[in-house]
Amino acid sequence: MKIQVRTAKESDAIAACNVIRSSILRCCAEDHRNDAKLLEGWLHNKTPEFVLRCILDPTAYSVVASMDEEIVGFGSALDTGEVTLCYVAPSMIFKGVGKALLTALEEHAALAGVDALHLDSTRTARAFYLRNGFMAEVPPVQAFGMEGQPMRKELLGRG
């Protein structure tokens, strides 16, 4: 099975939303600690309408990863280089889907002349981003009852 990454389409919003929500629920317990209030805060805007807005946002680039025509990942980054979303279906963790999403976002940003990507990583995703060349910018911050780690990856020489 080969991972395919392409630009997200409007018709991908529901499947991409399902990936995001299941990833948060099943993979991010280290962050939300199964606390109903934290989960509600994290999931309240993770709707198909929200994902559709990301896909249609002219200041963003959104991609989906699929295997056998099933969407198994979703990523989105703003023109500023801010990675706003990068989620993988729980069954596809550690199978290269996240790396494929991130690579597509990096390549698009480099071609657009962006010098670096930046994001706020969850505890769950921190090791993934470190493995993929991101570095912590400052100490972790608290947001919405959870820890976030501001991170950055230089893209100079790409594209």
Instruction: Tell me how far apart the alpha carbons of residues 115 and 158 are, in angstroms, rounded to a whole number.
Output: 9
* Both structure tokens of 140: 């972790």
Q: Tell me: pLDDT of 19 over 50.
A: yes
Task: Tell me the C-alpha distance between 49 and 17, whole Å.
Answer: 9
pTM exceeds 0.85, yes or no? yes
Query: pLDDT digits over 91-143, tens only?
Result: 999 999 999 999 999 999 999 999 999 999 988 899 999 999 999 987 777 77
In angstroms, rounded to a whole number, what is the distance separating the alpha carbons of residues 1 and 97?
12
Instruction: Please report which confidence band the pLDDT of residue 60 belongs to, taking 50, 70 and 90 as the band edges.
Output: very high
Crossing angle for the helix pair 13-27 and 36-43, nearest 10 degrees? 160
Question: From 2.160.10.10, 3.40.50.2300, 3.30.470.20, 3.40.630.30, which CATH number describes the 4-114 domain?
Answer: 3.40.630.30
User: 87 and 122 in contact (C-beta within 8 Å)?
Assistant: no
